[in-house]
Structure 1
Amino acid sequence: MSEIKKPDIYKMNLPADLKKLSTAQCEELCGDIRKILIDTVSKNGGHLASNLGTVELTMAIHRVFESPKDKIVWDVGHQAYTHKILTGRLKEFKTLRQENGISGFCRPDESVHDAFISGHSSTSVSAALGIATAMKLSGDKTHHAIAVVGDGASTGGELYEGLNNAGKSDTNIIVILNYNEMSISKNVGGMAKYLSSMRTKESYQRTKGRVERMLDKTPIIGKPVKNAVRNSKNAVKNMILHSTMFEDLGFHYIGPIDGHNLEELEQGLMAAKAVNKPVFVHVNTIKGKGYAPAEANPGEFHGVGSFEIKTGNPDVVLSDSFSSIMGKELCEMGEKNKRLCAVTAAMKYGTGLQYFAKRFPER
Structure 2
Amino acid sequence: MHELLSKLESSESLHSMSIEQLEQLGSEIRDVLCNLLATRTAHFASNLGVVELCLALHSVFDFRRDRLIWDTGHQIYPHKLITGRYNDFQSIRMKGGLMGYPNPSESEYDLFMTGHAGCSVSTALGLKSGDDLQNEGSRKSIAVIGDGAFPSGIVFEAMNNAGELNSDLIVILNDNKMSICPRVGAVANYLDRLRTNPFYTGLKSEVVKVLNKLPLFGDPAEKLLAQIKEGVKAGMVGGMLFEEFGFRYIGPIDGHDIHLMRKYLEMVKNQKGPTLLHVVTEKGRGYKPAERDPVYFHTPPAFEDEDGSPKVRSTLEKPAFTNFARDAILSQMHKNEKVTVMTAAMCQGNKLEPVRDAFADRFFDVGICESHAVAFAAGQAKTGLRPIVAIYSTFMQRSYDQIFQEVSLQNLPVCMMMDRAGLTGPDGPTHHGVFDIGYMRVFPNIVMMAPGDATEVEPMLEFALQHNGPTSIRYPKSSALTFERPCQPIELGKSETIRWATDGAIIACGAMLQQALAAADLLKQEGIEVAVINARFIKPLDTEMLAQVFEECRFVVTVEEGALMGGFGSAVLETACQHGWDTRSLRTLGLPDRFIEHGERNDLLADLGLDAAGIAVACRTLSARYSDASHAGV
TM over 0.5: yes
Match of 2:312 among 303, 314, 325: 314
Q: CA deviation at 1:89?
A: 0.6
SS of 1:257's equivalent in the other structure is strand
Partners in 2 of 1:305 and 1:136 — Cα distance? 45
**Letter in structure 2 aligned against 1:314:** V
* 2:124–2:142 Cα contact (<8 Å) kept: yes
Residues 272-315 of structure 1: per-residue CA shift (max 9 Å, x gap): 10213211111011111111121111111112332223333433
1:100–1:164: structure 2 CA closer, same or farther, 3 Å change rule?
Answer: same
Q: 1:153 to 1:12 in 2, by over 3 A?
A: same
- The question of whether the paired residues in 1 share the 8 Å contact of 2:147 and 2:173 is answered with no
Is the Cα–Cα contact under 8 Å of residues 125 and 159 in structure 1 kept in the other structure?
Answer: yes
Match of 1:105 among 90, 101, 104: 101
Q: Distance in 1 between matches of 2:355 and 2:27?
A: 38
- For the residue of structure 1 that corresponds to 2:170, the secondary structure is strand
Q: CA deviation at 1:338?
A: 2.2
Distance 1:54 1:232, change over 3 A: closer
1:242 equivalenced with 2:238 (yes/no): yes
Say which SS state the counterpart of residue 157 (structure 2) adopts. Answer: helix
| Corresponding position: 1:357 with 2:356 | yes
Tell me the CA shift for residue 228 of structure 1: 8.3
- Match of 1:178, SS state, is strand
Report the counterpart of residue 79 of structure 1 in structure 2.
75
Q: Once the 2 structures are TM-superposed, how far is the Cα of residue 168 of structure 1 from its aligned partner? A: 2.7
Superposed displacement of residue 207, structure 1: 1.3
Alignment deviations for residues 295-354 of structure 1 (CA, whole Å, 9 cap, x no partner)? 111111112332223333433377822212221232222222222222123121210211
329-338 or 279-288, larger mean C-alpha shift: 329-338
1:193-252 C-alpha deviation (Å, 9 max, x unpaired): 0011111234322212324667x79xxxxx999998677544422223333211121112
Distance of 2:225 and 2:284 partners within structure 1: 38
Aligned to 1:220: none
Amino acid at match of 1:85: L
- Residue 317 to residue 330, structure 1, CA distance change in 2 (3 Å): farther
1:343 aligned residue? 342
Question: Is residue 2:327 matched to residue 1:331?
Answer: no
Query: Using the alignment, how far apart are the partners of 1:37 and 1:229 within structure 2?
Result: 39
Q: Does 1:258 align with 2:276?
A: no
CA contact (8 A) 1:326 1:352 kept: no
Unmatched segments (≥5 aa) in structure 2:
363-634
Question: CA separation of 1:326/1:136 partners in 2, compared to 1, >3 Å: closer, same or farther?
Answer: same
The farther-off stretch of 56-65 and 347-356 is 347-356
Q: Give the match's secondary structure for 1:304.
A: coil
> Residue 354 of structure 2 aligns to which amino acid in structure 1?
Y
CA contact (8 A) 1:44 1:96 kept: no
1:167–1:226: structure 2 CA closer, same or farther, 3 Å change rule? closer
Please list the CA deviations of residues 160-214 of structure 1 after superposition, one character each: whole Å capped at 9, or x if unmatched. 1111111232433111010111111111110000011111234322212324667
After TM superposition, list the pairs within 5 Å mapping 1:177-326 onto structure 2. Answer: 177-200=173-196, 201-211=200-210, 232-310=228-306, 311-315=309-313, 316=315, 320-326=319-325
* 1:334–1:245 Cα change, 3 Å: same
Deviation digits for residues 32-64 of structure 1 (CA, Å, limit 9, x no counterpart): 101111211331211111111000000000000
Q: Counterpart of 2:90?
A: 94
User: In 2, Cα distance between the equivalents of 1:173 and 1:17?
Assistant: 25
Matched, 1:44 2:40: yes
**In 2, distance between residues paired with 1:26 and 1:143?**
24
Q: CA deviation at 1:257?
A: 0.9
**Partner amino acid for 2:209?**
R
The one-letter amino acid of 2:346's match is M
Give runs of ≥4 in structure 1 deviating > 6 Å.
223-231
Task: Confirm or deny that 1:136 pairs with 2:135.
Answer: no
TM-score by length of 2: 0.53
Bigger radius of gyration: 2
Could you tell me whether the CA contact under 8 Å between 1:149 and 1:175 is conserved in 2? Answer: yes
Alignment correspondent of 1:16: 12
Relative contact order higher in (CA < 8 Å, ≥ 6 apart): 1
- CA–CA separation in structure 2 for the residues paired with 1:189 and 1:183: 12
Summarize the Cα distance change of 1:129–1:317 in structure 2 as closer, same or farther, 3 Å threshold: farther
1:108-164 CA deviation, whole Å, 9 max, x = no partner?
A: 111100011211110000000110011111111222111000263112111111111
Query: In structure 1, what residue type is equivalent to 2:171?
Result: V
Moved more, 10-19 or 318-327: 318-327
Q: Alignment length, in residue pairs?
A: 352
Tell me the SS of whatever aligns to 2:99: coil
- State percent identity of aligned pairs: 36
> Does the 8 Å contact 1:50/1:151 carry over to 2?
no
Match for 2:19: what amino acid?
T
Q: Given the two structures, how large is their TM-score scaled by the length of structure 1?
A: 0.90
Describe how 1:155-194 pairs up with structure 2 within 5 A. Answer: 155-194=151-190
User: Does the Cα contact within 8 Å between 2:5 and 2:82 map onto a contact in 1?
Assistant: no
Q: 1:68 aligns with which of 27, 47, 64?
A: 64
Q: Is the 8 A contact 1:79 1:150 kept in 2?
A: no
Query: 5+ residue gaps in structure 1?
Result: 1-5, 218-222
Structure 2 vs 1, CA of residues 345 and 11 (structure 1 numbering), >3 Å: closer, same or farther?
Answer: same
Between 280-289 and 328-337, the greater mean CA deviation after superposition: 328-337
Task: Provide the rounded CA distance (Å) in 1 between the counterparts of 2:212 and 2:12.
Answer: 30
Q: Is the 8 A contact 1:106 1:118 kept in 2?
A: yes
Select 1:33's aligned residue among 29, 34, 57.
29
Deviations 1:49-91 (A, max 9, x none): 1111000000000000001201100101111111111111111
Over 3 Å counting, the alpha-carbon distance change for 1:119 and 1:212 in structure 2 is: closer
Q: Secondary structure at the match of 1:282?
A: strand
Tell me: CA distance 1:231–1:9, structure 2 relative to 1, closer, same or farther (3 Å).
closer
Q: Which amino acid aligns with 1:150?
A: G
